[in-house]
């Protein structure tokens, strides 16, 4: 059955060589009880380990059922130990954190036996060793004799052909020793039992054959065997521990040291907690910024006005580090003047803007600085608005007051979507009373956050208000003013000059007069969009366009276009004043401002690209400079947020590495502590891989545990942080833990700790089983 041929095992420690096995040749029968006697250090345990495949011989051969083992691979030895050999040790080597039944099942667990079969066999083995009453106890609740019975049950549960016992009664009193010996004697009737003992009496009383050992050599053999086995069809069933088993094993081990585990998990979760909080904060801030961006900035137009400030021009100043040596001073444009860029907005440019792909923009508002001739009724009398102080029959009119009167409606222009929707107003303003405008002649009053409405705006509707005078909403809703065309409004004097007519009543009823009506009072929704429209009248850009259409071919415009003089005052004018005059009378088709509302925040970049393309290859003077307020704000805040987040994450990341090292140390300690267990598992047939798996599983549990713990703590922290931040900054809900971040962090924690624990886990796997079992 088992044959040792010239087996040698030498241990070299420094200069001295110990011949633990020195050319041992012996054969064993399939069924006999062999006792090995000998003084301490004579090589008995070494031989047992060779037979059991726990240790490798240096030379010679071990023949099992006629099969040589000199070509055995690790996996073959693992399988051999699992299938064919049962070990019993002096110090029992029961795994303390497993239940008795789990201990007995372990060998079968490693060979992948099914749960029911395993349980049945384990119970049978425990009944056989007389422990049926104690099956549900924990190892530390048993006496020494009972522990050894558990060890015996574990050794025979898989029904091995060979039972190896190394001083099984060495730690037991004589009475218990006898019981154990009787049990082993009985087991030897079915198999080969090789038992090491230093008690010659026990050996003589129970064994069939006594081999005496000294100095690594067999001295005497009471019943030698010289038969040889035929080469049989000896097959090994290879073992494999499942990941699940590894996890269960580790979990049970972890549960025996809850306090330490909790501290480990807590300490290593600190890195996760800090990163999670940093991410939660930056996530929350980013959300706030995004909110602001979509709330306000997307509704801030890219605007092109008559003058723009060209930031690049302002920068190129004062780069000279030396001082001037001139004895005189020079006149020059001021910095801000230099930065001023005059945009020559003409119909060509307008066409270019209007050809912009439709999907980029929600709407494009083109404002003409054309004046509006408004009249309204006060106390039943029609009157013009701004001219109330001026003498209507005056022959001459002061140009500046004239200009003020024609331009001054005191309102702002809001854009209407291409499809006629009021998305701009609806997004930024809510209705205090009345409704949103529905047609071009509907106007709204814009109140600021304090519900104030400008006095001059009210004048347009014939309301002379004093400061702080209160109005009910319904005093203002439905108010009207008449918008009169130039031809109706101005009359030609015999001198050829034009003056406003005073026949207001007939103006009001003229066929081409439009009625503007206040349909709603609106107030800004959030302070972010405060000031988008000034507090007063707001009307659509369609209205300004229709005013231009009505007046561009009027008599006064034609006359002014043909004359060098001011057609109203008769004064001579320079070209630019004439231009202004024409514009105000509605005779200039160049818009004063173009406001482009991108369809969303991202599309704005497309809009800017499109506008930039117009300037390509143009002289500086011909270029059109736009203003993108939203862009400069968001670039600043967005970039800063990212930078801060990166820095903080990098800092807190260091604590993650600390956690990783800590887990490595903990695992290392665990490996040291569980050396015996590793030996036992190996004796039961565990592969190196299985051992690695057990410890990897342990670190995975710790890693995932600390990740989850950290996330929960961080999540709990967001609540007090939000309360504090809200008190400090007024911003609510700033820290928000993104679930994706949470999941990622748990994964990162698990991966890092597994990495950190993997090296000690490998170390554990490499542990020599024989040495591991010798450690006390
Ligand atoms: P026994 O079991 O008969 O007491 P062992 O088989 O344990 O003896 O040891 C035989 C000899 O081999 C002893 O001298 C022991 O010191 C030595 N020995 C055993 N294992 C090792 C080892 N791993 N390294 C060095 N020497 C060892
Ligand atoms: Mg020994």
- Please give the Cα distance from 717 to 710 (Å, whole number): 10
User: Residue 387 has what pLDDT?
Assistant: 34
Probe target for ligand 1 pocket from 13, 18, 213, 775, with the most ligand atoms within 8 Å of CB: 18
- Please provide residue 581's backbone torsions phi and psi, each rounded to the nearest 5 degrees: -60, -45
2-240 placed in CATH 3.40.50.300: yes
User: Residue 395 has what pLDDT?
Assistant: 36
CA of 38 to the centre of ligand 1 (A): 13
Segment holding 214, helix H or strand E: strand 209-214
Q: Which residues line ligand 1 (CB under 6 A)?
A: 11, 13, 18, 20, 38, 40-46, 771
Query: Which bound ligand lies closest to the C-alpha atom of 47?
Result: 1
CB 210 within 8 A of CB 204: yes
> How remote is the C-alpha of 12 from its chain's centroid?
56
Probe target for ligand 1 pocket from 46, 167, 216, with the most ligand atoms within 8 Å of CB: 46
CA of 129 to the centre of ligand 2 (A): 24
CB 380 within 8 A of CB 611: no
User: Residue 408 has what pLDDT?
Assistant: 44
User: Residue 410 has what pLDDT?
Assistant: 53
User: Residue 393 has what pLDDT?
Assistant: 38
CA of 395 to the centre of ligand 2 (A): 131
CA of 41 to the centre of ligand 1 (A): 6
Atom of ligand 1 nearest to the CA of 46: 6
Atom of ligand 1 nearest to the CA of 13: 25
Tokens read off for 3: 């044959």
Atom of ligand 1 nearest to the CA of 9: 12
- Please give the Cα distance from 482 to 287 (Å, whole number): 47
User: Which residue is closest in CA terms to ligand 1's atom 15?
Assistant: 41
Atom of ligand 1 nearest to the CA of 216: 10
CB 234 within 8 A of CB 66: yes
Distance set, CA 598 to CA 175, 293, 586, 603, 604 (Å): 96, 12, 28, 6, 5
User: Which residue is closest in CA terms to ligand 1's atom 24?
Assistant: 11
With CA atoms as reference, report the closest residue to 657 among 746, 749, 532: 749
User: Residue 312 has what pLDDT?
Assistant: 54
Probe target for ligand 1 pocket from 7, 10, 11, 50, with the most ligand atoms within 8 Å of CB: 11
By DSSP bridging, strand 480-484 and strand 514-524 are antiparallel
What is the value of pTM for the model shown?
A: 0.61
User: Which residue is closest in CA terms to ligand 1's atom 1?
Assistant: 41
- Please provide residue 66's backbone torsions phi and psi, each rounded to the nearest 5 degrees: 80, 0
User: Residue 531 has what pLDDT?
Assistant: 63
CA dihedral 139, 142, 145, 146 (to 10 degrees): -70
DSSP 533: S
User: Residue 94 has what pLDDT?
Assistant: 92
- Please give the Cα distance from 752 to 659 (Å, whole number): 8
User: Residue 296 has what pLDDT?
Assistant: 62
> In 386-521, which ranges are continuous DSSP H helix?
399-407, 423-428, 455-459, 473-476, 486-489, 504-509
Q: Is the dihedral of CA 649, 654, 657, 663 positive or negative?
A: negative
User: Residue 614 has what pLDDT?
Assistant: 92
CA of 48 to the centre of ligand 1 (A): 12
- Report, as ranges of residue numbers, the positions in the chain whose pLDDT lies below 70: 229-234, 292-299, 310-321, 335-336, 369, 385-411, 418, 527-532, 631-639, 776
CB 155 within 8 A of CB 184: no
User: Residue 388 has what pLDDT?
Assistant: 32
Query: Which bound ligand lies closest to the C-alpha atom of 40?
Result: 1
Query: Which bound ligand lies closest to the C-alpha atom of 16?
Result: 1
The domain ranges of the chain are: 2-240, 254-292+639-773, 362-597
With CA atoms as reference, report the closest residue to 677 among 168, 95, 104: 95
């Amino acid at each position: 059955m088992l044959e040792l041929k010239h087996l040698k095992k030498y241990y070299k420690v420094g200069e001295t060589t110990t011949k633990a096995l020195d050319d041992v040749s012996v054969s064993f029968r399939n069924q006999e009880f062999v006792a090995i006697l000998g003084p301490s250090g004579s090589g008995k345990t070494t031989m047992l380990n060779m037979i059991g495949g726990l240790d490798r011989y240096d030379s010679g051969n071990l023949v099992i059922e006629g099969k040589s083992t000199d070509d055995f691979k690790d996996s073959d030895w693992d399988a051999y130990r699992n299938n064919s050999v049962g070990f019993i040790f002096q110090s029992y080597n029961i795994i303390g954190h497993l239940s008795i039944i789990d201990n007995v099942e372990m060998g079968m667990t490693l060979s992948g036996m099914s749960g029911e079969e395993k349980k049945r066999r384990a119970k049978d083995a425990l009944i056989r060793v007389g422990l049926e009453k104690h099956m549900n106890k924990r190892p530390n609740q048993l006496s020494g004799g009972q522990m050894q019975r558990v060890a015996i049950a574990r050794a025979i549960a898989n029904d091995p052909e060979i039972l190896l016992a190394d001083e099984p009664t060495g730690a037991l009193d004589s009475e218990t020793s006898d019981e154990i010996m009787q049990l082993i004697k009985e087991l030897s009737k079915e198999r080969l039992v090789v038992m090491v003992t230093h008690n010659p009496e026990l050996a003589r009383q129970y064994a069939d054959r006594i081999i005496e050992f000294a100095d690594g050599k067999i001295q005497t053999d009471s019943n030698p065997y010289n038969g040889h086995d035929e080469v049989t069809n000896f097959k090994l069933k290879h073992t494999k521990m499942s990941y699940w088993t590894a996890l269960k094993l580790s979990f049970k081990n972890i549960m025996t040291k809850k306090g330490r585990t909790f501290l480990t998990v807590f300490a290593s979760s600190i890195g996760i907690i800090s990163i999670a909080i940093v991410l939660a904060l930056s996530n929350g801030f980013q959300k706030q910024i995004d909110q602001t961006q979509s709330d306000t900035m997307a509704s801030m137009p890219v605007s092109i006005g008559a003058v723009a400030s060209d930031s690049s021009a302002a920068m190129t100043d004062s780069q000279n580090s030396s001082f001037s040596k001139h004895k005189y001073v020079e006149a020059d444009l001021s910095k801000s003047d230099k930065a001023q860029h005059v945009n020559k907005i003409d119909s060509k440019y307008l066409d270019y803007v209007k050809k912009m792909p439709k999907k980029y923009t929600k709407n494009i508002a083109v404002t003409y600085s054309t004046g509006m001739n408004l009249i309204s009724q006060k106390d039943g009398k029609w009157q013009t608005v701004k001219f109330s102080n001026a003498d209507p029959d005056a022959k001459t009119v002061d140009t500046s007051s004239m200009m003020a009167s024609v331009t001054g409606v005191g309102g702002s222009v809001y854009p209407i979507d291409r499809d006629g929707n009021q998305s701009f107003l609806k997004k930024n303003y809510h209705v205090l009373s009345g409704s949103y405008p529905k047609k071009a002649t509907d106007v709204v009053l814009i109140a600021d956050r304090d519900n104030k409405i400008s006095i001059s705006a009210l004048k347009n509707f014939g309301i002379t208000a004093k400061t702080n005078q209160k109005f009910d909403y319904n005093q203002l809703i439905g108010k009207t003013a008449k918008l009169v065309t130039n031809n109706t409004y101005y009359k030609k004097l015999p001198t050829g000059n034009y003056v406003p007519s005073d026949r207001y009543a007939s103006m009001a009823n003229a066929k081409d007069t439009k009625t503007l009506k206040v349909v709603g009072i609106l107030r800004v929704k959030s302070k972010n969009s405060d000031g988008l429209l000034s507090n007063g009248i707001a009307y659509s850009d369609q209205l300004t366009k229709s005013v231009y259409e009505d007046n561009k071919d009027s008599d006064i415009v034609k006359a002014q276009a043909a004359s060098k003089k001011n057609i109203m005052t008769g004064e001579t004018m320079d070209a630019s004043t004439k231009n202004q005059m024409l514009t105000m009378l509605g005779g200039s088709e160049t818009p004063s401002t173009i406001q482009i509302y991108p369809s969303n925040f991202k599309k704005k970049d497309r809009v800017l690209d499109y506008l930039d393309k117009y300037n390509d290859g143009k002289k500086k003077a011909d270029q059109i400079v736009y203003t993108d307020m939203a862009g400069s704000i968001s670039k600043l805040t967005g970039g800063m947020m990212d930078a801060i987040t990166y820095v903080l994450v990098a800092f807190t990341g260091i604590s993650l590495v600390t956690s990783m090292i800590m887990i490595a140390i903990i695992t290392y300690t665990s490996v040291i502590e569980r050396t015996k267990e590793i030996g036992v598992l190996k004796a039961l047939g565990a592969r190196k891989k299985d051992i690695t798996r057990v410890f990897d599983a342990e670190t995975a549990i710790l890693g995932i545990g600390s990740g989850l713990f950290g996330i929960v703590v961080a999540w709990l922290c967001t609540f007090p942080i939000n309360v504090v931040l809200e008190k400090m900054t007024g911003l609510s809900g700033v820290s928000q833990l993104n679930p994706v971040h949470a999941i990622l962090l748990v994964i990162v924690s698990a991966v890092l700790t597994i990495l950190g624990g993997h090296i000690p886990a490998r170390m554990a796997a490499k542990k020599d089983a024989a040495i591991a079992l010798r450690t006390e």
